[in-house]
Amino acid sequence: MQEAIHRFALDGEPADCRELKGGRINRSFLITTDRGARYVLQRVNRYVFPNIRAIMGNAEKIGAWMERQPDALPVTIRYLPARGGELWTEDGEGGCWRCYRYVENSVCLSAPESPEDLRQSGLAFGRFLQALEGFPALELEETIPQFHDTPARYRQLRAAAAEDRCARRARAEEALALAFALEERASRLQALRESGALPLRAAHNDTKFSNVLLEEGTRRALCVIDLDTVMPGLSAYDFGDAIRSSAASGQEDEPLSLDEERFTAFTRGFLEGCPGLTPAELEALPLGAFTITAELGVRFLTDYLQGDPYFAVTDAEQNLRRALRHFRLAGEIARRLPELAEIVRREKTGI
Ligand code: GN1
Ligand code: MG
């Protein structure tokens, strides 16, 4: 890390470093220099993102586009060039590092503290999506192929269960049964994508609550972070992942349930931020919340069966607990779909 940080032109000499917790994939450190300038230094997870050129190329395109959008959020993350001219630097151990200016006067919460926090997060992700309207989505590289292709995620789960390389399957039978009970409904969104019923957009694809920075004090939407999965996607993914994550504490392995007030607050902000959604997209939003919740459960369960190579865990059962919590939440969302559709309709029309 010492070596990596010196490859970026900082304002001053690094004087302090502390780890920023919360991400499941990359590791992030807050660096403060002797002149008081602050930066985020990240070590990119190469198991998840083997193609560093693709993620950084996408980030650069998005950043340049956002800076030309009058309605974009106040702050967009831009990476600093490293010595050598790339936006990242490699260490001798296969690690890749990148660096950006810490967003001052911001707060990053692991869970919302009020409905207004949720409305602001809805506004942030909605405005992000809206600002990317017109962006040539297909020019973005698919940083993780089939990221939200739920049927593909089920195929990976089946393969992991068949292989059972860590002899964990016996402990996963209940979770597997729950997963497969959700499969038919969880495959519908992908079918809507493939049929062209839903427009493909440049979407964020990883809209968990902690990926929004709010302004300190005012708690207004300031910035959307974690652009590694910005690629062609659906508005229903972004809406859906935000809904599922706002039902969770940071750990995602505690009981989850859908709160109507929270759902309404997020929906209000999202629709206000992204007025350009088509009728078909509006209709698919609740299905997105269901699908992404079930899909993430499938991903956690697959990772459990494979010995946790993907998601950071605190103990050997955490991915299994996360999977179970997500399947139960998905079941609850499925039962409440008509109610959720009604909230979306009401928030859109105001009547
Ligand atoms: C990962 O990187 P982070 O922690 O924001 C994951 C998301 C999951 C999330 C669950 C690239 O997000 O898809 O929803 O964990 N990101 C990737 O906490 O797989
Ligand atoms: Mg991420």
> In this structure, what are the phi and psi dihedrals at residue 120, rounded to the nearest 5 degrees?
-65, -35
Q: Answer whether 211 contacts ligand 1 (Cβ < 6 A).
A: yes
Counting ligands in written order, the one closest to the CA of 318 is: 1
Q: Is residue 83 domain-shared with residue 129, that is, in the same domain?
A: no
Distance 306 CA to ligand 1 centre (A): 17
Nearest to 229 by CA among 58, 80, 60: 58
- pLDDT at residue number 251: 87
Mean pLDDT of the chain: 96
Confidence band, pLDDT 50/70/90 cuts, at residue 291: very high
Q: Answer whether 281 contacts ligand 1 (Cβ < 6 A).
A: no
pLDDT tens digit string along 65-105?
999 999 999 999 999 999 989 999 998 888 899 999 999 99
Q: Answer whether 20 contacts ligand 1 (Cβ < 6 A).
A: no
Neighbours of 173 (CB within 10 A): 10
Confidence band, pLDDT 50/70/90 cuts, at residue 301: very high
Note whether residue 109 is domain-resident. Answer: no
Q: Is residue 305 domain-shared with residue 329, that is, in the same domain?
A: yes
Query: Two tokens at 259?
Result: 């709160």
Distance 100 CA to ligand 2 centre (A): 16
Q: Is residue 182 domain-shared with residue 323, that is, in the same domain?
A: yes
pLDDT tens digit string along 154-165?
999 999 999 999
Residue 338 lies in domain: 115-349
SS3 (DSSP) at 253: coil
Residue 250, pLDDT > 90, answer no
Note whether residue 81 is domain-resident. Answer: yes
The residue behind tokens 């020019």 is 139
Q: Average of pLDDT values for 288-308?
A: 98
Q: Is residue 145 domain-shared with residue 37, that is, in the same domain?
A: no
- pLDDT at residue number 93: 86
27, 48 contact by CB (below 8 A): no
What proportion of the chain, given as a percentage, has pLDDT over 90?
A: 94
Ligand 1, atom 8, residue with closest C-alpha:
206
- pLDDT at residue number 1: 86
Distance 35 CA to ligand 2 centre (A): 30
CATH of the domain at 92: 3.30.200.20
- pLDDT at residue number 125: 98
Q: Is residue 210 domain-shared with residue 294, that is, in the same domain?
A: yes
Residue 170, pLDDT > 90, answer yes
State the closest ligand 1 atom to the C-alpha of 229, by its place in the atom list counted from 1: 11
Distance 228 CA to ligand 1 centre (A): 10
- pLDDT at residue number 116: 97
Ligand 1, atom 9, residue with closest C-alpha:
24
Q: Is residue 160 domain-shared with residue 238, that is, in the same domain?
A: yes
Confidence band, pLDDT 50/70/90 cuts, at residue 206: very high
Residue 193, pLDDT > 90, answer yes
Percent helix, percent strand, percent coil in the chain, to nearest 5:
45, 15, 40
Q: Is residue 142 domain-shared with residue 11, that is, in the same domain?
A: no
User: Do strands 27-33 and 201-203 pair parallel, antiparallel, or not at all (unpaired)?
Assistant: unpaired
> In this structure, what are the phi and psi dihedrals at residue 50, rounded to the nearest 5 degrees?
-65, -30
- Number of structural domains, the chain? 2
State the closest ligand 1 atom to the C-alpha of 205, by its place in the atom list counted from 1: 13
Q: Is residue 87 domain-shared with residue 128, that is, in the same domain?
A: no
Q: Answer whether 296 contacts ligand 1 (Cβ < 6 A).
A: yes
C-alpha 187/C-alpha 241 separation (Å) is 16
Q: Tell me how far apart the terminal alpha carbons of the chain are, to the nearest angstrom.
A: 55
Distance 232 CA to ligand 2 centre (A): 16
Note whether residue 200 is domain-resident. Answer: yes
226, 203 contact by CB (below 8 A): no
The residue behind tokens 């494979």 is 306
